[in-house]
């Protein structure tokens, strides 16, 4: 149908009030009013956005806050885990060497006073005395104030704080690196034979000869030669040879016990009191001269 421009207002009004425009206007108004009344546009948009929600990024202030919280929790968890793992290993340790090997430099662990006492008792008397006198420990233990012990791994060795319940230091102890090294040597069975250790050169004796000589010592001196016979008893295998060091340090001489468990040979080092070892050596020399040749369980187990 051709459209022509209305020529006058009457024509224009007639056309405007016709059915079609009225329906159109009513429709537009109905849409507008229903939107105002029922918010369908907002609801439609909102519903659409809900469907896309999971695909959208976790961005914005609150998500950043959330991410920071997660990062912070992870950092804390890591710190706690590290600390707890050091603590757990320390609690399970039966020797100082185990603690020293598991504790990173600059870090520390807290032990109960009882645990420290147990660790202390595993040390040979000579070494233990260098750390702290057993009487001093006894004094601290008996007055009930010593409740915890903090061990810190520092550059020069170990620092040990005996603490009361308020974390105040009752006694500060140190295990310098060289002493720690000594402890390691004592606590760890070294792989190999006495020949591998020049310090025992010319002073290696068959075990039976050594222990026969021990029998010559008075009962009260035996512990001065071997302060921890339990440690030797606890080792699997048999002691085949014993070496005596040619060097005395702070009144002690190191003894090396070579143990054969059938598959390998290992050496355990224990310090003995200098005077007791010298006295034992004189018996050993005498016995040596008497028998001139000692029986041996292996070909190389003779005095060199």
Partner 1 sequence: MTTPGTFIRLLRTVFYMTLALISIAAFISIGMFFVAVQDLPRVPEPLRRIIETPPTEIYAATGERLMVIGGREVVPLSKVSTHFIQAVLATEDHRFWEHHGVDKLRTLKALWVTLFEPGRIEGASTITQQLSKNLFFSFKRSYMRKFRELLVALQIESQYSKREILEAYINQIPMGVGAHGIEQASQAFFGKQALELTLAESALLAGLPKSPTRYNPYLHYDRARERQRVVLSRMAAVGYITRAQADSASRDALNLRRPPSGALTGSYFLDMVVRSLEERYGPDVIYHGGLKVTTTLDPQLQTWAVESLQEGLARLEKMLGVYEQAKHGAFREVIRPQGALVGIETNSGAVKAMVGGRNYGETEYNRAVQNNRLPGSGFKPFLYYTAFEKLGMNPATVFLDRPVTVPVIGAEDWTPENFGLKHEGPMILKKALVRSVNSVAAQLVERTGPEEVIRTARRCGIKSHLEPVYSLALGTSGVSPLEMASSFATFANGGIRHGPFWIWRVEDALGRVLEEHIVSGERSLDASIVYQVVDLMRGVVDEGTGSVIRRLGFDLPAAGKTGTTDGYYDAWFTGFTPTLSTSVWVGYDQGEGLRDIQGRGITGGRGAAPIWANFMIKATQGEPPREFAIPPDIRFETVNPVTGRAANESTPNPMRIALREGQSLYSDTLEDEIPYNSETETSQVAR
User: How far is residue 244's CA from residue 111's CA, in Å, rounded to a whole number?
Assistant: 36
Q: Tell me the two tokens of residue 189.
A: 């069975």
The residue (of 168 and 293) whose beta carbon lies closer to partner 1 is 168
Which of 17, 168, 262, 292 is in the footprint of partner 1 by CB under 8 A?
Answer: 168
Residue 209, SS3 per DSSP: helix
Q: Which of 1, 2, 20, 54 binds partner 1 (CB under 8 A)?
A: 54
Using CB under 8 A, which of 2, 58, 155, 230 touches partner 1?
58
When the beta carbons of 46 and 144 are compared against partner 1, the nearer one is 46
Binding region for partner 1 (CB under 8 A) out of 38-46, 88-96, 126-134, 186-194: 38-46
Cα radius of gyration (the chain): 43
Nearer to partner 1, 10 or 293 (CB): 10
Kindly tell me the sign of the dihedral angle through the C-alpha atoms of 17, 23, 24, 25: positive
DSSP 106: T
Q: Which of residues 5-34 bind partner 1 (CB under 8 A)?
A: 5-9, 12
Among 68, 91, 264, 304, binds partner 1 (CB under 8 A): 68
**What does the block give as tokens for 243?**
């070496």
CB-nearer residue toward partner 1: 109 or 186: 109
By rule CB under 8 A, what string of x and - marks binding of each residue 206-245 to partner 1? ----------------------------------------
Among 151, 163, 226, 259, binds partner 1 (CB under 8 A): 163
How many amino acids of this chain bind partner 1 (CB under 8 A)? 47
Distance separating alpha carbons of residues 196 and 3, to the nearest angstrom: 118
What are residue 105's phi and psi, to 5 degrees? Answer: -55, 140
DSSP-assigned letter for residue 197 = -
Stretch that binds partner 1, among 45-53, 136-144, 244-252, 270-278 (CB under 8 A): 45-53
In the block, tokens 């990173």 appear at 104
For 243, half-sphere exposure in the C-beta direction (CA atoms, 13 angstrom radius) is: 23
* Alpha-carbon separation of residue 111 from 13, 85, 91, 124, 230 (angstroms): 100, 13, 7, 21, 24
**Residue 262 within binding range of partner 1, rule CB under 8 A:** no
If the CB atoms of residues 152 and 208 are measured against partner 1, the closer one turns out to be: 152
Query: Binding partner 1 by CB under 8 A: which of 24, 30, 46, 304?
Result: 46
Q: Is 4 in the site for partner 1 (CB under 8 A)?
A: no
If DSSP codes are grouped into helix, strand and coil, which group holds residue 281? Answer: helix
Under the criterion CB under 8 A, does residue 50 sit at the interface with partner 1?
yes
- CA dist., res. 204 & res. 290, Å (int): 17
Tally of CA atoms within 13 A in the half-sphere of 50 that contains its CB: 6
Binding pattern for the stretch 126-155 against partner 1, x by CB under 8 A and - elsewhere: ------------------------x-----
Q: What angle do CA 58, 62, 63 make, to 5 degrees?
A: 25
Q: End-to-end CA distance of the chain: give it in Å, rounded.
A: 131
Our finding on whether 104 is near partner 1 (CB under 8 A) is: no
Query: Contact residues for partner 1 (CB under 8 A)?
Result: 5-9, 12, 36, 39, 42-43, 45-47, 49-50, 52-54, 56-63, 65-66, 68-69, 71-73, 75-76, 79-80, 83-84, 150, 161, 163, 166-169, 172
């Amino acid at each position: 149908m051709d459209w022509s421009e209305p020529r006058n207002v009457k024509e224009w009004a007639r056309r405007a009030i016709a059915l079609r425009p009225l329906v159109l206007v009513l429709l537009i108004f109905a849409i507008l009013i229903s939107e105002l009344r029922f918010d369908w546009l907002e609801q439609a948009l909102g519903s659409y956005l809900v469907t896309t929600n999971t695909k959208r990024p976790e961005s914005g202030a609150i998500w950043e806050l959330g991410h920071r919280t997660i990062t912070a929790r992870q950092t804390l968890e890591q710190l706690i885990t590290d600390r707890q793992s050091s603590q757990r290993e320390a609690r399970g340790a039966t020797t100082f060497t185990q603690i020293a090997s598991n504790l990173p430099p600059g870090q520390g662990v807290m032990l109960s006073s009882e645990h420290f006492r147990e660790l202390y008792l595993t040390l040979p008397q000579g070494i233990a005395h260098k750390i702290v006198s057993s009487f001093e420990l006894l004094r601290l233990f008996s007055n009930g104030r010593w409740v915890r012990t903090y061990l810190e791994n520092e550059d020069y060795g170990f620092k040990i704080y005996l603490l009361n319940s308020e974390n105040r230091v009752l006694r500060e102890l140190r295990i310098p690196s060289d002493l720690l090294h000594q402890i390691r040597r004592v606590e760890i069975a070294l792989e190999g034979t006495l020949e591998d250790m020049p310090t025992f050169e010319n002073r290696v004796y068959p075990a039976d000869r050594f222990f026969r000589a021990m029998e010559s010592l008075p009962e009260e001196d035996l512990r001065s030669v071997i302060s921890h016979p339990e440690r030797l008893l606890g080792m699997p295998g048999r002691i085949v040879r014993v070496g005596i060091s040619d060097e005395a340090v702070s009144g002690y001489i190191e003894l090396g016990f070579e143990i054969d468990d059938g598959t390998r040979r290992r050496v355990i080092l224990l310090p003995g009191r200098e005077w007791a070892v010298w006295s034992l050596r004189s018996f050993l020399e005498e016995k040596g001269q008497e028998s001139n040749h000692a029986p041996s369980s292996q070909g190389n187990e003779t005095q060199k």
